[in-house]
Amino acid sequence: MTTHGPLLFAHLGDLHITSANSQNYLDFLSILVQLETDCRSYADFIVLPGDNADDGLPEQYELVATALKLVSSPLYVITGDHDMASGNLDAFYSLPIAKTLPLAVTVRAVQCLFLDMSGEGAGGPDFRLGKEQLAWLSDQLVQSAAQGETVVVFMHTYPADCTDAQETTMLNQLIARHSVVLVDIGHTHYNELANDGHTIFAATRSTGQIEEGPVGYSLVSIDEGTVSWRFKALHDAFPFVLITTPADYRLWREDEQPRVGGTTVVRAVVLGKQPARYVTCQLNQNTPVPMTCSPDGRVWEIELDVPQQPVLTLTVEATDNRGRPGRHTIDLANPFLSTIIRHKQGSDADLIGAWLQNGIPGTQLGPNRNGGAS
């Protein structure tokens, strides 16, 4: 097993809370109950990516704060354009969990950097970091590089959504020069993954303004530089399996990672309040082989001899102590991967497209794709 184990967090998409009797508030409560009962032992923290209160009103943040009492996991919250609806972030910072942004937290040897995209702007989708925050980010990335840490950046939007084009350029340069394996965002209102070959950009659909698919949340892991992402619909049953390494070809960061082949470590987490009775790993249609659980019961692992071939699937299947199954399948090889052109613009230009197995329909239904500013 690795010294620290994979970092795992739950991302709840933009809440847009308005009132206690609204459907999105009820969904928010249901998600929190599920995270507390089925995921608490596995997730290192929960993140709210901005647009927490639809109108930025104190009474809406009070509803958010009341709901968050349901969970005991660490919580991190950042700002979005709706949090600036009143013209300032005073109401946002009234949240008991709100810490002054920007914020740096190290979890399982991964440096997590939480940014404020809205405080420097004039409200609405005027996304700005400002000189001081950019300087802070640069310093944090230099320190992480010196310590050999991988980095995850949490911000409300893609870098390309910065109002100031110079800020976008500087932010993209900082990300490209350092080991930023993931930029985790909200704002899009739909599930979306982009891969520029160096960094994964991951957006999780809104909880409060839903245009496509069922309500839910994403579960994201960082395992020695490998990024894994999968959407968990609220109504989907447990156990819920997430392979944390190796990477699916869609999330393979070719600038940093060697191709999968030869002796390969496979790790997975199996979430659910009922313990997993046994977990197996299968390459293509080969015979499934049992995996070994870590002493703390959090991670399942095995070493496999993985051939290099153009079509290669990896499946981890778990059965809990009530006999209920869960599985996750990823694709390790893609014969056309070498022909992909990376744009590296800090935007959705490097989209991976639809990935139904992991909860991405690829339809991009939402106000932001259609030119709105929600």
In this structure, are 63 and 99 located in the same domain?
yes
Q: How far apart are CA 290 and CA 260, in angstroms?
A: 20
Is there a single domain that holds both residue 274 and residue 213?
no
Three-state SS at 341: coil
- How many Cβ atoms are within 10 Å of 46's Cβ, its own excluded? 24
Structural domain boundaries, residue 317 = 249-331
Domain boundary among 186, 211, 236: 236
Whole-number average pLDDT of the chain: 93
Are 192 and 253 part of one and the same domain? no
- What number of H helices and E strands is found in the chain? 4, 19
Judge if 194 and 257 occupy the same domain.
no
* pLDDT one-digit tens code per residue, 11-65: 999 999 999 999 999 999 999 999 999 999 999 999 999 999 999 999 999 999 9
- Is the model's pLDDT at 338 over the cut of 80? no
Q: Return the CATH number at 214.
A: 3.60.21.10
pLDDT per position as a tens digit, 242-276: 999 999 999 999 999 988 888 999 999 999 999 99
Picking from 236, 265, 290, the residue at the C-terminal end of a domain is 236
Instruction: From 230, 227, 108, select the one nearest 179 (Cα to Cα).
Output: 227
Here the CATH number for the domain that contains residue 274 is: 2.60.40.650
pLDDT tens per residue across span 229-246: 999 999 999 999 999 999
Is 157 part of any domain?
yes
Same domain for 158 and 216, yes or no, is yes
| Domain shared by 84 and 206, yes or no | yes
* Structure-derived torsion over alpha carbons of residues 50, 356, 270, 104, reported in degrees to the nearest 10: -30
pLDDT at 309 (0 to 100): 82
